[in-house]
Amino acid sequence: MSDAVRIAVLASGGGSNFQALVDRFRRSPEREVVGVIASREGAGVLERARRAGVASAVSPPASTSGGAATFLRRTLDEWRSDIVVLAGYMKLVPEALVRAYWGRILNIHPALLPEFGGRGMYGARVHRAVIEAGVRITGATVHFVDEAYDRGPILCQWPVPVLADDTPESVAARVLTVEHRILPAAVEALASGAVRLEADRRVRWVREWFETETFTNREG
Q: Which amino acid is at 98?
A: V
Note the Cα 106 to chain centre separation in Å: 5
Letters for 177-216 (x = contact with ligand GAR by CB under 6 A, - = none) are --x-------------------------------------
What is the nearest approach in angstroms of ligand GAR to the Cβ of residue 176? 5
One of 176, 187, 190, 191 touching ligand GAR (CB under 6 A): 176
Name residue 32's beta-bridge partners: 6
**Distance of CA 55 to CAs 35, 52, 213, Å?**
4, 9, 32
Look up 109 and say whether it is catalytic.
yes
One of 5, 8, 13, 156 touching ligand GAR (CB under 6 A): 13
64/167 with CB nearer ligand GAR:
167
One of 87, 142, 162, 178 touching ligand GAR (CB under 6 A): 87
One of 4, 16, 40, 92 touching ligand GAR (CB under 6 A): 16
One of 101, 122, 158, 209 touching ligand GAR (CB under 6 A): 122
Residues contacting 140, CB < 8 A, separation 6+? 108, 109, 110, 111, 112, 157, 158, 160, 175, 178, 179, 182, 183
Burial 89-121 (b: 16+ CB within 10 A, else e): bbbebbeebbeebebbbbbbbbbbbebbbeeeb
Asked if residue 114 has a cis previous peptide bond (ω within 30° of 0), the answer is yes
* 168 binding ligand GAR? (CB under 6 A): no
CA dist 163 and 145 (Å) reads 30
* 152 binding ligand GAR? (CB under 6 A): no
* 14 binding ligand GAR? (CB under 6 A): yes
Where on the chain is the footprint of ligand GAR (CB under 6 A)? 11, 13-17, 87-88, 108-110, 122-123, 126, 150, 176, 179
**Which residues are known to be catalytic?**
109
